[in-house]
Chain A
Amino acid sequence: MIDRLHPLSILIYFLSASLIPAFSRNPVLHTLCLITGFLMLFTWADAGKILKRVPVFLLFFLIISLFNPFFYHNGNTVLFYVAGRRFSLEALLFGADSALIVIGVSVWFISLSHYMTGDKVLLLFGVLSTKLATIVSLIMRIIPHYASYINAYRKQQKLMGIYGEGTFLERLRAEAKIFAGFLTWSLEHSMTTADSMTSRGYGVAKRKSYRIYRIRQIDILIMITSVIFILLLGLSLIRGTFETNYYPVIVMQPQGREAILSESVYIIYSLFLTVKHLIKVNYGFFENKQSKI
């Protein structure tokens, strides 16, 4: 379902779900962010693929956690001394908390990069300038196309026995030959493209981009929830509900009613799109009507 959403609602949802906890200083919220981020991964990737990523994240976690206490020596609970300076538990926990943020946000962004495909990005940028969008889409197509052409050319030369053996100078000459052939071909190709674009009416009138994604009811729902969530959590952030002081001793703001409310709002919001994929819930009214043939 998520891949059929409007790119704007995807962007707003993913950015708010991952970045707002990152701006808070509350380890509970960071942990929730990481967990829901991992759950979001399950909506599109296999469990095996996800598990393969875990050791890398653990390594990241370790490095970032250890980085802080080696360079910041505040904190009252001393574990040991490094070059005459403290290596404190508080600094270690602060490092661990920052590592949670980094990993949580990166997990969310892995899902974001999966769902925000190139065409969706172009659709969003197309609003700013249609010409720029066209050029970008052309470039996005041409680069892999050219690369594959050069590889095919080189293989063909190798098979014919022209390229591949010999000294460095000979190989350089062969490479230059390939490049010359590729250049002629690309010029010819661009002329063909230009001709075909003109024949289809490029430059005749003001250009509009075609959008396959439309703002539907589900998108409106997501955007409204996002705005409510951003307002609620933003208010809590400003009021200092999530403040945690790490130095010299860890003092977390008492987890009062407001903090628990905000955290539960975050859980509901961040699982809002995930749950449907995981346990196949149907939103009913907000679903787009599919033909039942």
Chain B
Amino acid sequence: MLKPEIIFASSRRNALTRIICVGLVLLCIFAGIFSLFSVSSIAKSGTEITDKTTKDTESFSGVLPDSHSSKDTFDTILNIYKWKMELEGAKNLQDLIDGAFCDDPLNGTNQNYILSIIQNPAITADFSKYTKALSDALYDGISTEEGIFPTSLQKSLVTLQLCLDYNLYKSLGEDYVNQNRLAVEAVNHENLLNYVNQEVTDTALYHTIGEKGIMSYIYGLYMLDNCPLSEPSVSEPEIIDAILSLQCEDGGYTLSGSEGDTDVTAMTLQALAPAYLLKYEKYIELPGDLYERLRQSVDKSLNFLSLIQESTGDYGSFGTTCSESTSQVILALYALDIPPISDERFIKDENNCLDGLLIYKCNDKGFSHSRGSVSNDMASSQSLQALTAILNSYEYESSETINAENISVSKAPAFPTKIVIPFGVILICLTAGLILFIKKKKIIHLISALALGALIIGIFFALDIKTKESFENEKSSIIFSESTNDTIEINFLISADTINAGDIFPASNLYVAKDSTVFDVLKEVCRIENIQLDYEKNSVYGLAYVKGIDSIYEYENGDLSGWMYRVNGEMPNIGLGYYTLSAGDKVEILYSTNIGRDLND
């Protein structure tokens, strides 16, 4: 017989352990619910921001040819701003203007961004800080020994004037339209003189126009058209005369040589447009024969541009097609009051300029310089101006305007999978283990449950799971947009021509990091371009074997089919994970149906 005390003691101990266990289980459940709520609240706050911007853009209407609606265009524009914001690490568009653009206000690319915001009727922003920074930069720059580059000075003055104009418009509101035009101009003139000193205006008027070839004439004309400055060293008719005399035989304009170049021609047209359309009073007084020459010249240039358009809708400069040329042509057409996307002269094979420009849109929402390349700052800024021009040509109704502060990077709330999932697994296993422990009173159940949890977490971390967004938007450490000291230029191609599947990745020049292997580049290209890739890799030996690209797999087209690679026309005898690239290599990743015999013919 057991003594009563012992029975009592043991039952009390059991009760105690039971209470502790139940308490722990309840604690776990509460902690789990709490963590779930906190995660969902993060997700909610993230979606609110995105909702705000999308709601605003819904107010645009207007269906346009080729299914490019104004809303699509506006979304593309917003996405470029977001791309730039991510690049500079800015919170919202206003932050970008006050931060990154103010740091380098004389930069032409930054000025392109500023101009596109000013010209966009649906976005309002505050440029007071930028105006101050720009005038300071002009003041500082002009007093240095080298001074400011003539075209840069001219463009900066135009940007400054437009910003001031915009500030005035914002402060006056509706009165701006109603007031006397001359009075406004007088205010503007005073404003400009308040912001820049005599030295700057003198330099701009007497030492820039015609100093540096055709571009200084073009920007000079811009400056005289937009800024209320008078009595320049070279007057407007003289500038127009000088520009017209520089025209090539084929109707285009160029910096050097005898054949017209797309960019220069388009920019010249933009400069000549106000005179051509007799936009300002001063152009009505132009000599009759000069105006006649101007008309003929502009028509000839337009013919030239119409002739050299590619069948895909885009334009080339110096032999290769690029987005900047296309953007400039769109701007020129808009300036000349020609509808950029519906004029028949500029539609080739049912592709208009906008189709041509959208070829260069990258996965990260920016625009690239050449086809299949990565996003580029200058290309994005000029595409932005072109898209804004197209938006203006749509004549859509915008009932609401978005403040620049509301355009923010709609970062999808980074779901903290790395923390939440292990935490959840541990919680579930602990709860299950505790329940078993209470039921069967064996500590081994608790330990084994925790061990199972640890195993699952170990597998989770070993597998390196990433969400789609975080994987695709990762910054590349292999492929770069610009050439630096640590990069080499190679030509890269993925093709399955042998089974008539065409080029999966067309031949392009890429800047890749030094010492990168063929496999590194292939992986990065597939990641950036969102091409399917299946491979086996031994992390110890660096051995890699490609099984399938773009859902075309080995053995699919016969027993001898599979992926092979060629460098400079020869098939190396080592795996692509070992082949280190050198500058100028021509790499081809090819699908063969007969272990490479069909590739060499």
- Chain A contacts to B: CB under 8 angstroms: 70, 72-76, 78-87, 247-248
Closest to B466 in A: A81
Query: Nearest 6 pairs between A and B by C-beta?
Result: A248-B551, A73-B534, A81-B471, A81-B466, A83-B464, A82-B463
Q: When chains A and B are docked, how far (Å) is the Cα of A290 from the Cα of B416?
A: 71
Select B534's contact among A72, A76, A79, beta carbons within 8 Å. A72
| A83 and B463 in contact, given A74-B553, A78-B468, A248-B551 (Cβ under 8 angstroms) | yes
Q: When chains A and B are docked, how far (Å) is the Cα of A74 from the Cα of B550?
A: 8
Query: Do A84 and B463 touch (CB < 8 A)?
Result: no
Query: Do B532 and A75 touch (CB < 8 A)?
Result: yes
Query: Do B533 and A80 touch (CB < 8 A)?
Result: no
B523 at interface by CB-CB < 8 Å: yes
- Chain B contacts to A: CB under 8 angstroms: 463-468, 471, 523, 527, 532-535, 548, 550-551, 553
Select A76's contact among B465, B523, B551, beta carbons within 8 Å. B551
> Hey, which chain A residues are within 8 Å of B533, CB to CB?
73, 85
> Hey, which chain B residues are within 8 Å of A86, CB to CB?
532, 534
Min distance, Cβ B544 to any Cβ of chain A, angstroms: 11
Min distance, Cβ B413 to any Cβ of chain A, angstroms: 16
Q: When chains A and B are docked, how far (Å) is the Cα of A248 from the Cα of B467?
A: 20
| A74 and B468 in contact, given A84-B523, A86-B532 (Cβ under 8 angstroms) | no
Min distance, Cβ A224 to any Cβ of chain B, angstroms: 41
> Hey, which chain A residues are within 8 Å of B534, CB to CB?
72-74, 85-86
Query: Do B548 and A74 touch (CB < 8 A)?
Result: yes
Select A247's contact among B465, B527, B551, beta carbons within 8 Å. B551
> Hey, which chain B residues are within 8 Å of A76, CB to CB?
532, 551
> Hey, which chain B residues are within 8 Å of A74, CB to CB?
532, 534, 548, 551, 553
Q: When chains A and B are docked, how far (Å) is the Cα of A180 from the Cα of B38?
A: 72
| A82 and B551 in contact, given A75-B532, A248-B532 (Cβ under 8 angstroms) | no
> Hey, which chain A residues are within 8 Å of B463, CB to CB?
70, 82-83
A–B Cβ pairs within 8 angstroms, 7 of them: A73-B533, A74-B551, A74-B553, A76-B532, A76-B551, A84-B471, A247-B551
Q: When chains A and B are docked, how far (Å) is the Cα of A78 from the Cα of B526?
A: 14
Q: When chains A and B are docked, how far (Å) is the Cα of A96 from the Cα of B59?
A: 44
> Hey, which chain B residues are within 8 Å of A84, CB to CB?
464, 471, 523, 527
Select B465's contact among A72, A78, A80, A248, beta carbons within 8 Å. A80
Min distance, Cβ B587 to any Cβ of chain A, angstroms: 20
Q: When chains A and B are docked, how far (Å) is the Cα of A168 from the Cα of B492?
A: 73
Closest to A72 in B: B534
Min distance, Cβ A248 to any Cβ of chain B, angstroms: 4
Select B468's contact among A72, A75, A79, beta carbons within 8 Å. A79
Q: When chains A and B are docked, how far (Å) is the Cα of A72 from the Cα of B547?
A: 10
Q: When chains A and B are docked, how far (Å) is the Cα of A73 from the Cα of B523?
A: 14
> Hey, which chain B residues are within 8 Å of A79, CB to CB?
468
Q: When chains A and B are docked, how far (Å) is the Cα of A70 from the Cα of B465?
A: 11
> Hey, which chain B residues are within 8 Å of A247, CB to CB?
551
Min distance, Cβ B577 to any Cβ of chain A, angstroms: 13
Select A85's contact among B468, B535, B551, B553, beta carbons within 8 Å. B535
Closest to A73 in B: B534
> Hey, which chain A residues are within 8 Å of B468, CB to CB?
78-81
> Hey, which chain A residues are within 8 Å of B548, CB to CB?
73-74
Additional pairs, 12, CB under 8 Å, beyond known A78-B468, A84-B471, A85-B533? A72-B534, A73-B533, A73-B534, A74-B534, A74-B551, A75-B532, A76-B532, A80-B467, A80-B471, A82-B463, A82-B464, A82-B465
Query: Do B465 and A81 touch (CB < 8 A)?
Result: yes
Min distance, Cβ B1 to any Cβ of chain A, angstroms: 27
| A73 and B532 in contact, given A81-B471, A247-B551, A248-B551 (Cβ under 8 angstroms) | yes
Q: When chains A and B are docked, how far (Å) is the Cα of A79 from the Cα of B468?
A: 7
Q: When chains A and B are docked, how far (Å) is the Cα of A280 from the Cα of B466?
A: 56
> Hey, which chain A residues are within 8 Å of B551, CB to CB?
74-76, 247-248
> Hey, which chain B residues are within 8 Å of A73, CB to CB?
532-534, 548
